[in-house]
Amino acid sequence: MEDLIVVVGLGNPGKKYANTRHNVGFWVVELLALKHKIKMTKLKFKALYGEGVICGKKVLLVMPQTYMNLSGESVRDIINWYKVPVKNIIIIYDDIDLPVGRLRIRPKGSAGTHNGMRSIIYQIMSDEFPRVRVGIDKPPEGWDLANYVLSKFSKEDREKIQQAVVSAADAVEGIIGCGVDQAMSKFNNIGT
Protein backbone atom coordinates (compact mmCIF):
# COMPACT_ATOMS: atom_id res chain seq x y z
CA MET A 1 0.00 0.00 0.00
CA GLU A 2 2.02 2.85 -1.42
CA ASP A 3 0.00 5.55 0.38
CA LEU A 4 -0.18 4.00 3.88
CA ILE A 5 1.98 5.63 6.58
CA VAL A 6 3.06 3.40 9.48
CA VAL A 7 3.89 5.24 12.71
CA VAL A 8 5.70 3.03 15.21
CA GLY A 9 6.33 4.06 18.79
CA LEU A 10 8.90 1.93 20.60
CA GLY A 11 8.49 0.73 24.16
CA ASN A 12 7.94 -2.30 26.37
CA PRO A 13 4.48 -3.76 27.00
CA GLY A 14 2.96 -4.18 30.44
CA LYS A 15 2.27 -2.08 33.55
CA LYS A 16 5.76 -2.65 34.94
CA TYR A 17 7.30 -0.58 32.13
CA ALA A 18 4.46 1.89 31.44
CA ASN A 19 6.10 4.98 32.99
CA THR A 20 9.74 4.26 32.20
CA ARG A 21 12.12 6.28 30.02
CA HIS A 22 12.19 3.51 27.39
CA ASN A 23 8.45 3.92 26.73
CA VAL A 24 8.48 7.47 25.37
CA GLY A 25 7.70 6.15 21.86
CA PHE A 26 4.53 4.47 23.17
CA TRP A 27 3.43 7.74 24.82
CA VAL A 28 3.71 9.64 21.52
CA VAL A 29 1.63 7.01 19.68
CA GLU A 30 -0.98 7.03 22.48
CA LEU A 31 -1.25 10.83 22.21
CA LEU A 32 -1.63 10.66 18.40
CA ALA A 33 -4.34 8.00 18.83
CA LEU A 34 -6.18 10.24 21.30
CA LYS A 35 -5.87 13.39 19.12
CA HIS A 36 -7.08 11.63 15.96
CA LYS A 37 -9.63 9.31 17.60
CA ILE A 38 -7.82 6.18 16.46
CA LYS A 39 -8.75 3.13 18.52
CA MET A 40 -5.65 1.12 19.50
CA THR A 41 -7.51 -2.16 19.86
CA LYS A 42 -6.16 -4.50 17.19
CA LEU A 43 -3.66 -7.16 18.14
CA LYS A 44 -1.68 -8.70 15.27
CA PHE A 45 1.87 -8.58 13.88
CA LYS A 46 3.16 -8.89 17.49
CA ALA A 47 1.76 -5.38 17.99
CA LEU A 48 -1.11 -3.36 19.37
CA TYR A 49 -2.29 -1.07 16.59
CA GLY A 50 -5.06 1.07 15.16
CA GLU A 51 -5.99 2.43 11.75
CA GLY A 52 -7.09 5.97 11.00
CA VAL A 53 -6.38 9.20 9.17
CA ILE A 54 -3.85 11.92 10.04
CA CYS A 55 -3.38 14.99 7.80
CA GLY A 56 -5.59 13.37 5.16
CA LYS A 57 -3.39 10.26 4.89
CA LYS A 58 -4.20 6.68 5.87
CA VAL A 59 -2.17 5.79 8.93
CA LEU A 60 -1.39 2.74 11.02
CA LEU A 61 -0.38 3.60 14.60
CA VAL A 62 1.70 0.77 16.05
CA MET A 63 3.08 -0.22 19.47
CA PRO A 64 5.13 -3.43 19.14
CA GLN A 65 4.43 -5.89 21.97
CA THR A 66 7.65 -7.89 21.50
CA TYR A 67 9.70 -6.00 24.11
CA MET A 68 12.14 -3.41 22.88
CA ASN A 69 15.01 -5.60 21.67
CA LEU A 70 12.76 -7.50 19.23
CA SER A 71 10.77 -4.52 17.88
CA GLY A 72 11.99 -5.24 14.35
CA GLU A 73 10.00 -8.49 14.16
CA SER A 74 6.76 -6.54 14.48
CA VAL A 75 7.82 -3.85 11.98
CA ARG A 76 8.96 -6.49 9.47
CA ASP A 77 5.63 -8.37 9.73
CA ILE A 78 3.66 -5.15 9.09
CA ILE A 79 5.82 -4.18 6.08
CA ASN A 80 5.43 -7.66 4.60
CA TRP A 81 1.66 -7.78 5.16
CA TYR A 82 0.80 -4.25 3.94
CA LYS A 83 3.60 -4.04 1.33
CA VAL A 84 4.55 -0.62 2.71
CA PRO A 85 7.62 1.12 1.28
CA VAL A 86 10.29 1.57 3.97
CA LYS A 87 10.25 5.36 3.48
CA ASN A 88 6.59 5.37 4.69
CA ILE A 89 7.56 4.18 8.15
CA ILE A 90 8.14 6.67 10.98
CA ILE A 91 9.80 5.35 14.14
CA ILE A 92 9.58 7.24 17.45
CA TYR A 93 11.96 6.32 20.25
CA ASP A 94 13.89 7.50 23.31
CA ASP A 95 17.51 8.62 22.88
CA ILE A 96 20.17 8.81 25.61
CA ASP A 97 22.40 10.93 23.37
CA LEU A 98 20.03 13.90 23.57
CA PRO A 99 19.23 16.00 26.67
CA VAL A 100 15.85 15.35 28.30
CA GLY A 101 13.06 16.76 26.16
CA ARG A 102 15.17 17.57 23.07
CA LEU A 103 13.76 16.34 19.75
CA ARG A 104 15.76 15.25 16.75
CA ILE A 105 14.15 14.27 13.45
CA ARG A 106 16.19 12.48 10.82
CA PRO A 107 15.21 11.13 7.38
CA LYS A 108 17.44 8.04 7.83
CA GLY A 109 20.52 6.83 9.68
CA SER A 110 22.07 4.27 11.98
CA ALA A 111 20.59 2.82 15.17
CA GLY A 112 23.20 4.41 17.42
CA THR A 113 23.08 2.72 20.82
CA HIS A 114 19.36 1.87 20.64
CA ASN A 115 18.58 -1.88 20.62
CA GLY A 116 15.02 -1.40 19.36
CA MET A 117 16.31 0.50 16.34
CA ARG A 118 19.07 -2.06 15.79
CA SER A 119 16.41 -4.76 15.67
CA ILE A 120 14.30 -2.82 13.15
CA ILE A 121 17.22 -2.05 10.83
CA TYR A 122 18.37 -5.68 11.02
CA GLN A 123 14.90 -7.12 10.34
CA ILE A 124 13.91 -4.83 7.46
CA MET A 125 17.46 -4.56 6.09
CA SER A 126 17.25 -0.78 5.67
CA ASP A 127 17.79 2.42 7.63
CA GLU A 128 16.12 4.61 4.99
CA PHE A 129 13.13 5.69 7.06
CA PRO A 130 12.36 8.84 9.06
CA ARG A 131 12.62 8.78 12.82
CA VAL A 132 11.73 11.06 15.71
CA ARG A 133 14.17 10.78 18.62
CA VAL A 134 13.11 12.06 22.03
CA GLY A 135 15.95 12.89 24.41
CA ILE A 136 16.06 11.14 27.79
CA ASP A 137 19.71 12.04 28.61
CA LYS A 138 22.61 9.78 29.55
CA PRO A 139 22.52 7.70 32.75
CA PRO A 140 24.15 9.35 35.77
CA GLU A 141 27.69 8.24 36.65
CA GLY A 142 27.74 4.63 37.85
CA TRP A 143 24.26 3.72 36.55
CA ASP A 144 23.80 0.64 34.40
CA LEU A 145 22.25 1.65 31.04
CA ALA A 146 19.53 -1.04 31.16
CA ASN A 147 18.50 0.00 34.68
CA TYR A 148 18.48 3.65 33.63
CA VAL A 149 16.22 3.30 30.57
CA LEU A 150 13.83 1.14 32.63
CA SER A 151 13.64 3.72 35.43
CA LYS A 152 11.08 6.51 35.78
CA PHE A 153 11.69 10.20 35.12
CA SER A 154 12.45 12.55 38.00
CA LYS A 155 9.78 15.11 38.83
CA GLU A 156 11.58 17.98 37.05
CA ASP A 157 12.28 15.83 33.96
CA ARG A 158 8.68 14.63 33.80
CA GLU A 159 7.48 18.11 32.84
CA LYS A 160 10.08 18.41 30.07
CA ILE A 161 9.25 14.96 28.72
CA GLN A 162 5.49 15.62 28.72
CA GLN A 163 6.12 18.70 26.60
CA ALA A 164 8.48 16.71 24.36
CA VAL A 165 5.81 14.04 23.81
CA VAL A 166 3.37 16.73 22.63
CA SER A 167 6.05 18.21 20.33
CA ALA A 168 6.99 14.74 19.01
CA ALA A 169 3.33 14.05 18.14
CA ASP A 170 3.23 17.42 16.33
CA ALA A 171 6.47 16.48 14.54
CA VAL A 172 4.97 13.18 13.34
CA GLU A 173 1.96 15.10 11.99
CA GLY A 174 4.44 17.46 10.32
CA ILE A 175 6.27 14.58 8.64
CA ILE A 176 2.97 13.09 7.43
CA GLY A 177 1.53 16.42 6.27
CA CYS A 178 4.52 18.35 4.90
CA GLY A 179 7.40 15.88 4.65
CA VAL A 180 10.45 15.18 6.75
CA ASP A 181 12.52 18.20 5.63
CA GLN A 182 9.95 20.76 6.76
CA ALA A 183 9.37 18.86 10.01
CA MET A 184 13.13 18.86 10.66
CA SER A 185 13.45 22.60 10.21
CA LYS A 186 10.47 23.24 12.49
CA PHE A 187 11.07 20.73 15.29
CA ASN A 188 14.79 19.94 15.51
CA ASN A 189 15.54 22.79 17.92
CA ILE A 190 12.67 22.06 20.27
CA GLY A 191 13.76 21.42 23.82
CA THR A 192 16.95 23.49 23.52
Q: Which domains are delineated in the chain?
A: 5-187 (3.40.50.1470)
**Of residues 191 and 96, which shows the higher confidence score?**
96
Segment 134-161 mean pLDDT: 91
Q: What is the reported pTM? A: 0.95
Split at pLDDT 50, 70, 90, the class of 188 is confident
Least confident of 7-16, 90-99, 107-116: 107-116
Q: Write the secondary structure of the chain as one string of H (helix), E (strand) and C (coil).
A: CCCCEEEEECCCCCHHHCCEHHHHHHHHHHHHHHHCCCCCCEEECCEEEEEEEECCEEEEEEEECCCHHHHHHHHHHHHHHHCCCHHHEEEEEEECCCCCCCEEEECCCCCCCCHHHHHHHHHHCCCCCCEEEEECCCCCCCCCHHHHHCCECCHHHHHHHHHHHHHHHHHHHHHHHHCHHHHHHHHCCCCC
Q: What pLDDT, on the 0 to 100 scale, is given for residue 70? A: 96
- pLDDT exceeds 80 at position 120: yes
**pLDDT reading at 167 higher than 80:** yes
pLDDT at 189 over 80: no
| pLDDT, average across residues 59-79 | 96
* Angle, helix 24-35 to helix 155-178, in steps of 10 degrees: 60
| 176 alpha carbon, distance to own chain's centre | 14
Q: How confident is the model at residue 111 (pLDDT cuts 50, 70, 90)?
A: confident
Of all residues in the chain, the percent with pLDDT exceeding 90 is 81
Q: What is the pLDDT of residue 82?
A: 96
- For the chain, give the mean pLDDT: 93
| pLDDT at position 168 over 90 | yes
Indicate which residue of 10, 21, 22, 114 is catalytic: 22
> Is 22 designated active site?
yes
Report, as an integer, the average pLDDT of 77-90.
96
